[in-house]
Structure 1
């Protein structure tokens, strides 16, 4: 039996009893929803100050650990063994049976948390168990500061909980304890990390994409949104909204003064975002803007941009340096995809203003045809994020998805280099060509076009989305390889 004890984020623990109860109930429900997709028989128990998870399938250990580390509201969790005990010496003997083989040559400490009425204190238990283990293993040494091994025990009434391995969670609040937000996502580092931070804060995060780069741009951004949702907010359905902003950009290029183009583009985006948010009943918009990162993100320009918004603007990265953002992107598993995403700036000013004057910007917008903005909003595509795979399949009606490859097929492994290195695709009867998805659009044309190619990736999402892009570029000799196992 696999057993885990789940610790709440500290901010939950200091809330009032009613708020804390609501938060733990949300977390309990989310655990059942997410872990239940891995193990239908998983058991989740809510004990107010912590939760426990039990599974009768030890082969799912690593999958459950990965899932638990990505659920908002969990500050840490530990794999544990639970048992009954009679007295302090009985506790020592049980701990000795589990840890004695791990102690030779190591420094260690014993940490005990105790609840209930006992004849000993937590300090008494730590000294008794630690001293006993030190006597039994001569090469081990008790060290209270920075030991190599920390033995964590919890004693609750007549139950002993031994923490055999400790893991960090993502912290924050359970979804959706803090309402909904609409995140402007471009597929790059900033918007991806900003979306993650909102999820971590307990906000159900929907995605709004302004398409400036055509099908290839949308395919990549859909994959990014899908990845963030699947990894960090799988417990709740969210929307992915795509707005074709090419006509708006063209109008800006024709009607707006060169130095004001960037600010006006951002104002058009927040106008559109506000209206989309209102139509979805969402009160706040999230962006990945950071002070001084580009010309449009000076304090003066951000103030002018905000004047166009009818919704609350949230900027979780406002004080972060670029390297800090990239480091966090790497930590949450989106760095590779964000790094491969092309930059679609929409408009590029030779001398962009860093001190926009609101009255001048508003005057320049008099010449902008606002009907184009409204038309773009009215034609927005609103998708359930869970249907990203389905939508991709529907789009590639002329492209086959094969489980068994033809004899002369060539497989394109489009996974990132890190993935192919860890788990190379090996097919005995077919040639495999490694071509990362972020190089596919530029390099596919250089391949022998008399051959038939089959895109492959682990989850099957990116291979389908990239097949869409290649088909729309006019290539008919591409399909998707989805093996049966």
Structure 2
């Protein structure tokens, strides 16, 4: 028996003149997210889509659809001809098993060939359901909402609706490069920008061989987790230890972390240019640590030609943790690992800096040579949803 799903989107409906572009992108993303599971057929209705598949079981379909940005809700449905008997037959197929349930009926009419009005359809269908099941009517908070739509020469009936991730389809807002550290914050920042339609690639800075291999594998695990929301992504791994050693031996200790961050921005800008990314994404939260004060963030940004997006800047740690738990990155993030910024950390990092101050410190460094040295040894991997192998 084929699975038929009615998919609703939210803010895409507000796009007016370019709604078709957003709809096409969402359809493409849905198909991409299901490609490894089986084929689907999709039809555009007004303000929603109808998906049909003969190959994908409902549990797998439900899991994948719940992770596609742009979907506000979705429901398994039964479709019937534009007759009263067709409506009853479709309703039979979707009613759940259970005794002593309460229910309500909501109907929409968008086809003038349907002889009953909306209220009459709700009343008559409700009476039929009550007679058939013995359930009680509850129009405030029922156990089951039976939703019947009459449109396009057919009836569409559902009895279960599942929430989607909402937001915008990944890709409609362009491309960006996200800095992925392995901690709690950066995966959440990336997820939040995916939800606003950015297609992301990722960069991770590591201090091998002075840090363990597990820290790099952990970042790959986080990248695989974020594949749930974006069916393919690139992860760039940048060796950073030699650059850090140069900073340690040639600059004052208190400036180390800010210098690390400024060089990360320079390197990330070069990678973003190669990836066609128009912005960087970073996981700072204002005031959380010494490098994330307002003046230090400004000093770091001065080393970047691209805009740096910081979606967590106004969130506290508890809020970020809750979001990490919700999206499935928290348990990975809290695994022990060696972070590159914790390697050769200063005892008392500076909390207030100015760009000119750091530029003077950097005069003792071969900035271009250090950046190029990191880029020469970069490694890049591509991850694809549903594939165990990495390209």
TM-score normalised to structure 2 length: 0.90
Question: Whole-Å Cα distance in 2 between the matches of residues 101 and 308 of structure 1?
Answer: 59
- 2:67–2:165: 8 Å Cα contact kept in structure 1? yes
- 1:220–1:341: 8 Å Cα contact kept in structure 2? no
- 1:92–1:132: 8 Å Cα contact kept in structure 2? no
> 5+ unaligned residues in a row in structure 2: which ranges?
none
Structure 2 residue aligned with 1:331, among 326, 331, 344? 326
Question: Whole-Å Cα distance in 2 between the matches of residues 217 and 149 of structure 1?
Answer: 47
What SS class does the counterpart of residue 385 from structure 1 fall into? strand
Gap change, CA 1:99 and 1:11, over 3 Å in 2: closer
Structure 2 residue aligned with 1:125, among 118, 121, 125? 121
Moved more, 293-302 or 356-365: 356-365
For 1:7, the equivalent position in structure 2 comes to 8
For 1:373, the equivalent position in structure 2 comes to 371
How is 1:286-365 mapped onto 2 (pairs within 5 angstroms)? Answer: 286-344=281-339, 345-365=342-362
1:218-248 Cα offsets, whole Å, 9 max, x none, are 222122212312x1211xx432111101011
Gap change, CA 1:120 and 1:314, over 3 Å in 2: same
Q: Residue 2 of structure 1: CA displacement?
A: 1.0
Aligned residues between the structures: 382
Q: Residue 341 of structure 1: CA displacement?
A: 4.3
Q: Residue 106 of structure 1: CA displacement?
A: 2.6
1:411-466 Cα offsets, whole Å, 9 max, x none, are xxxxxxxxxxxxxxxxxxxxxxxxxxxxxxxxxxxxxxxxxxxxxxxxxxxxxxxx
What SS class does the counterpart of residue 4 from structure 1 fall into? strand
Question: Whole-Å Cα distance in 2 between the matches of residues 195 and 62 of structure 1?
Answer: 27
Backbone CA RMSD of aligned residues: 2.4
For 1:71, the equivalent position in structure 2 comes to 68
Q: Residue 123 of structure 1: CA displacement?
A: 2.8
How is 1:394-433 mapped onto 2 (pairs within 5 angstroms)? Answer: none
- 1:108–1:151: 8 Å Cα contact kept in structure 2? yes
Q: Residue 158 of structure 1: CA displacement?
A: 3.5
Is 2:138 the counterpart of 1:143?
yes
Structure 1 residue aligned with 2:255, among 246, 260, 266? 260
Gap change, CA 1:135 and 1:275, over 3 Å in 2: same
- 1:100–1:137: 8 Å Cα contact kept in structure 2? no
How is 1:16-95 mapped onto 2 (pairs within 5 angstroms)? Answer: 16-17=16-17, 19-40=18-39, 42-57=40-55, 60-87=57-84, 90=85, 93-94=88-89
Q: Residue 298 of structure 1: CA displacement?
A: 1.3
Gap change, CA 1:341 and 1:194, over 3 Å in 2: farther
- 2:90–2:156: 8 Å Cα contact kept in structure 1? no
TM-score normalised to structure 1 length: 0.73
Q: Residue 372 of structure 1: CA displacement?
A: 1.9
Question: Whole-Å Cα distance in 2 between the matches of residues 57 and 367 of structure 1?
Answer: 63
What SS class does the counterpart of residue 38 from structure 1 fall into? coil
Gap change, CA 1:274 and 1:157, over 3 Å in 2: closer
- 2:69–2:229: 8 Å Cα contact kept in structure 1? yes
Q: Residue 111 of structure 1: CA displacement?
A: 1.5
Greater length-normalized contact order (CA 8 Å, ≥ 6 residues apart): 2
For 2:381, the equivalent position in structure 1 comes to 383
